Chain A
Amino acid sequence: MAFLKLENVSVGYHKNEFVVKDLTLNVGRGEFVSLLGPSGCGKTTTLRAIAGFLRVQKGRIIINGKVYNNIPPNRRNIGFVFQNYALFPHLNVFENVAFGLKIRRFPKDVIKKKVSEVLEFVGLKGFEERLPSQLSGGQQQRVAIARAIVVKPDLLLMDEPLSNLDAKLRIEMRAELRRMQKELGITTVYVTHDQAEALSLSDRVAVMNRGRIEQFDTPENLFLNPKTLFVARFVGFQDFVEGEVVDVGVNLITVRVGDTTLRARSMNRSSLGMKVILVARPKNFEILESRGANSLKGEIVSRIFQGDNILYVVKVPNVGYLKVEIPVENAKWQEREAVFLKVDPENCLAFPKEE
């Protein structure tokens, strides 16, 4: 049975205006789940509803079999890590971390022991006396985590905790977070807009859009087999062309694009005559001198050095500008060359065009 269950949850700030619509989510015990999506998709609202900072208008929130809808936030025993850490400015590190323990009336010596242990766990041994204003961003964040987990919450919620850190630190902290979560085994729900982060940290990811979950799956599946156009775009697929379905096969469909046809993998049921959008990753294109199977004609507009690979911007008539990434060793074409773009049908996905 799922440890955390959201059943048809709707949450809104004004009457009948829901930011989160009829959401259902099941998280297993000890699982690390991310809510991923652009700003405004409702992921933070969902998180805050689980925490109890927002009232749920419809549906139920069930944790470990118990319905939490009417339980006030301070009785839920849920750890929350905020984007801006929300450390108490007037308390030092020790007092910040001890806060929840004090409320739970643990004796002084027990508090001391637990705080020491958790500070060591997050790598901040010796920082007890410091004030939040004397800590770097990364250190503040670790204090925030320590404070949330020291009370052994049933659930740990994190609202974009890494987004205020610089790029290098973010990647280091990702590994740290993963290690900590695995060691503690706390069920965790993590909110982020960064797909790389979500995919690298989580057991499963829920991609959200406009208050609903578009796909809830493992990172690999999301990456390789996105179920909707939105998810595909979110995990890095680039719009390629539009066309009309002219043949439906077992695995692949054939799409008419202009005066040629391309084969692609259909992610949903396709019917003849349906309008579809084809998407593919910039890495999965090949540049050819002459027309091959599954290719379109184009002209190279820019050639941009990116280190390991070259980014080519190719103008395809009646389509637009497409980005193609070619490893440096193979990138011999120059600007203004006329070329053909080819993509393997397995790597080219087709989704119905939304009106």
Chain B
Amino acid sequence: MARVYGKKYVLLLLPTLVFLGIFFLVPLLMVVIDSIYGSEGEGIFFNYFVFFKDHVSRTAYLRSIRIGLWVTGLSIIISYPTALAIASINNRTLKTVFMTLMVLPLMTNPVARTFAWLAVLGRYGLLNNFLLSTRIIEEPVRMLYTEGAVLIGLLQLFMPMMILSISSALENIPEDLSLAARSLGASGFQTFVRVTFPLSVEGLITGGTLVFTGSITAYVTPAILGGSRVLMLSTLLYQKAAVVLDWDMATTIAVMMFLTTLLINTGFRLIGKVGRR
């Protein structure tokens, strides 16, 4: 793209830049500043000190990270074979059907999606009914409002993203490569380990980033399936901001959330670069 006549086309960017600058960037900066300086004048970064010292916020934070890791790990384990299965389907229409089935959950309302788990994990829900009727247990087990419930809910929420990431990475691998490996004597397993998998790592990294950051920032699922018993960063944030009106803590939590996702993003990308060597 060389110098063209008239540079004034760059002015077309102005409305959007102004819009995002004023209505997005500025408020965010003010949140950051609020969190650093606090409202009581205890000194800068005092809020962060409190954040890590306070049992509740610390637990919520660590829990979010912990559950995030579990969700990411589990989703990889289930999604990878699934993506492989989809990639190996030769029938075009069938493949499209499965891909649509994967995309569909992403388009539906998260409230609706999470709601279903209430029906499954509730005291009189599907799972309990089944276990009771087969006499595995004597009394209904409390499954809701546990970390497990949140885990399952988040897993269902984000698995499609992981499947899609890996799928698209797999689709980009030329079919001839595995044939070439076979012709050189590699078994199916060896081909997978030495050819297919390394080439799909990119998709894992993209998917992993999305799932991990998504799990940490999700609100609906932890709110509905975890309630106040299983406080995560996002539910704590809402509590502090809208219920307790502890503005200092709220802004600090918000900044911590953002910093953590930023760290995860960069971290994963570095892993990707190193792995490529």
Q: Which of B1-9, B149-157, B172-180, B266-274 interfaces with chain A?
A: B1-9
Across the interface, which residues of A come within 8 angstroms of B4, CB to CB? 53-55
* Cβ-defined contact, B2 with A73, below 8 A: no
Number of A-B contacts (CB under 8 A): 14
Contact: A72 with B2, CB < 8 Å?
Answer: no
Q: A13 at interface (Cβ–Cβ under 8 A)?
A: yes
Residue of B with least CB distance to A54: B2
Contact of B5 with A13 in the complex, beta carbons under 8 Å: no
Q: Is A352 an interface residue (CB 8 A)?
A: no
Q: Flag B1-20 by CB within 8 Å of A: 1 or 0 each.
A: 01111100000000000000
Q: Within A38-55, which residues are at the interface with B (CB < 8 Å)?
A: 52-55
Q: Which residue of B lies closest to A49 (CB)?
A: B2
CB distance from B4 to the nearest CB of A (A): 7
Within the complex, the shortest CB–CB distance from B3 to chain A, in Å, comes to 5
Q: Mark A124-139, 1 if CB is under 8 A from B, else 0.
A: 0000000000000000
Question: Which residues of chain A come closer than 8 Å to B5, judged between CB atoms?
Answer: 52, 55, 72-73
A54 to B2, CA, bound (A): 7
In the bound complex, CA of A73 to CA of B6 (Å): 11
Which residue of chain B has its CB nearest to the CB of A52? B5
Contacts of A52 in B (CB 8 A): 5
Bound CA span A53–B2, Å: 9
B1 — nearest CB in chain A belongs to which residue?
Answer: A13
**Residue in B closest to A48 when the chains form the complex, CB atoms:** B2
Q: Give the shortest distance, in Å, between A108 (CB) and chain B (any CB).
A: 31
Contacts of B3 in A (CB 8 A): 13, 54-55
Distance between B1 CB and nearest chain A CB, rounded to angstroms:
8
Q: Which residue of A lies closest to B3 (CB)?
A: A55
Name the B residues within 8 Å of A54 (CB-CB). Answer: 2-4
A73 contact set on B, CB distance < 8 A = 5
Which chain A residue lies CB-closest to B6? A72
- Chain A nearest CB: distance from B7 CB in Å? 11
Residue numbers of B with Cβ under 8 A of A are 2-6
Closest 10 CB pairs of A and B: A13-B2, A72-B5, A55-B3, A54-B2, A73-B5, A55-B5, A54-B3, A52-B5, A53-B4, A72-B6
Ordered by A's residue number, 14 sampled pairs between the chains whose C-beta atoms are within 8 Å are A13-B2, A13-B3, A52-B5, A53-B4, A54-B2, A54-B3, A54-B4, A55-B2, A55-B3, A55-B4, A55-B5, A72-B5, A72-B6, A73-B5
- In addition to A72-B6, A73-B5, 4 A-B residue pairs with Cβ atoms within 8 Å of each other are A53-B4, A54-B3, A55-B3, A72-B5
Residues of A within 8 A of B (CB): 13, 52-55, 72-73
